[in-house]
Amino acid sequence: MQVRHKLIRFVRKSPREKLRSILYHLEETDWYWKIHRPEEVRTAYIIGLFGTGRWYINDLVRQNIGERARYFREENTAKFPIHPCPTSMIHSCHATLRYVSRGQKPPATTRRILEVVRSGFADLIFVYRHPLDSLLTNWVWWRIYLAHNLMIPGISTIFKNNDEFCAHLEQDFSDFQAFADGDPGFFADRPGPRFLSFQEFVEETELFTECATLALRLEDFTVDPIREFSKIVTAMSVDLDLSRLHLAPPNSKPYRYLAVKEKVPRFRDFINGLDAVTKGRIEKRGYEL
């Protein structure tokens, strides 16, 4: 009966509405791409680990990439589209390459993305940030989410200033340490996998930067958002007049960890106690400790 009603509604539409409806449903499936072969365009996958600024990149793309923005999809469901040929689609998600993690697409999905990237059908755009800034942001984010089921944009949403945040970190440092260690007990009240440990997070960052078509540091958008966004435009083969754009830098404060390091001795000890491999991976990305 439901199918019949849908068919009746479709028949009553004007020819233009029928065509728009057909194209819409075709775009949601791979069938669309069997009749639509965009020249010099590849599927774009925007990937970032949790707490690295991917939402900021998503907003830049949606608001400034022109006609291509109509093909943007934030992938929050378990089903993830992997197109076996070039498309105009832009898919964005959190994902990991080696470790299974709460809140991020599993390595099996990422491996499928890399297959189409290596085949020349797609590009992987990876955004990353100083891992210690991500660590602080992620700890606060997950605490708020687990306690209140709220998704916040960043630390500044909760704390009035850095002194207030540092006092909170000092008071609950054992909780922070558990999160940084990837302790499953941090998520004891919520079923599902644990989040990445800090060492795993840093390793995942290195793996992605080594295989991404384009790797972008969030901090560089703070310095010159137009210059960094132009790299995305080039990767997506979009014809865009950049001189007409006025892009805001990220809201997140870069290198917050330095101020925290000065005010919270145990956080400073945490950094000093990192193993040599993890320190080396961070410094290889051009970051200081």
Q: Specify the DSSP class assigned to residue 185.
A: G
- Report whether 250 contacts 221 (CB < 8 A): yes
Give CA–CA dist 10/4, Å, rounded: 10
Which pLDDT value is given to residue 199?
A: 98
- Report whether 92 contacts 53 (CB < 8 A): no
Both structure tokens of 43: 């599927």
2-31: b (≥16 Cβ within 10 Å) or e: eeeeeeeeeeeeeeeeeeeeeeeeebeeee
Quick check: 275 pLDDT over 70?
A: yes
* Confidence bin at 12 (pLDDT 50/70/90): low
Which pLDDT value is given to residue 79?
A: 78
Give CA–CA dist 124/127, Å, rounded: 10
89-122 confidence digits (pLDDT tens): 999 999 999 999 999 999 999 999 999 999 999 9
* Confidence bin at 77 (pLDDT 50/70/90): confident
**Residue ranges of the alpha helices (H) in the chain?**
2-11, 15-27, 32-35, 54-64, 107-118, 131-148, 162-171, 173-180, 198-211, 218-223, 225-235, 256-263, 265-272, 276-284
Could you tell me the CATH superfamily of domain 36-130+198-244? Answer: P-loop containing nucleotide triphosphate hydrolases (3.40.50.300)
Give CA–CA dist 229/35, Å, rounded: 30
Which residue, chain included where needed, has tokens 């991917």? 54
- Name residue 206's beta-bridge partners: none
What is the pTM assigned to this prediction? 0.86
Quick check: 192 pLDDT over 50?
A: yes
Give CA–CA dist 86/71, Å, rounded: 13
Domain ranges of the chain: 36-130+198-244, 131-197+252-284
What's at 256, amino acid-wise? R
Quick check: 74 pLDDT over 60?
A: yes
